[in-house]
Amino acid sequence: MNQIYLQNFTKEELIEDMKNVILSEIKNMMGNTSNRPDDTLLTRKEVSEYLRIHISSVGRWVKLDILKPHYIGNRVYFKKSELPTNKKNLI
């Protein structure tokens, strides 16, 4: 384990610096949505349009475990973040 030695810092200065770093990171995480996955829910029709495949292929891809369905009541949705990015390898 690496050891860190701090010199010429008062306890109050260290606490203030740590607080500023933590607050900065929290603000960065809250404001930066590009690092978060897109959990937008899409219907079968929206998935077929997004992937440019026939709507019947959506059901077939579910059976082949290519797409992971999420059920809300009796409706089926798909998370946009879980959709394949390169369909060339799937066909």
Q: What is the DSSP letter of 31?
A: H
In angstroms, the CA 14 to CA 71 distance is: 49
pLDDT-derived band at 13, boundaries 50, 70, 90: confident
Residue 31 neighbours by CB distance under 10 Å: 8
State if pTM tops 0.75.
no
In angstroms, the CA 60 to CA 80 distance is: 18
Sheet with 41-42, edge to edge strand ranges: 41-42, 75-79, 70-72
Q: pLDDT digit string (tens) for 63-89?
A: 999 999 999 999 999 999 999 887 666
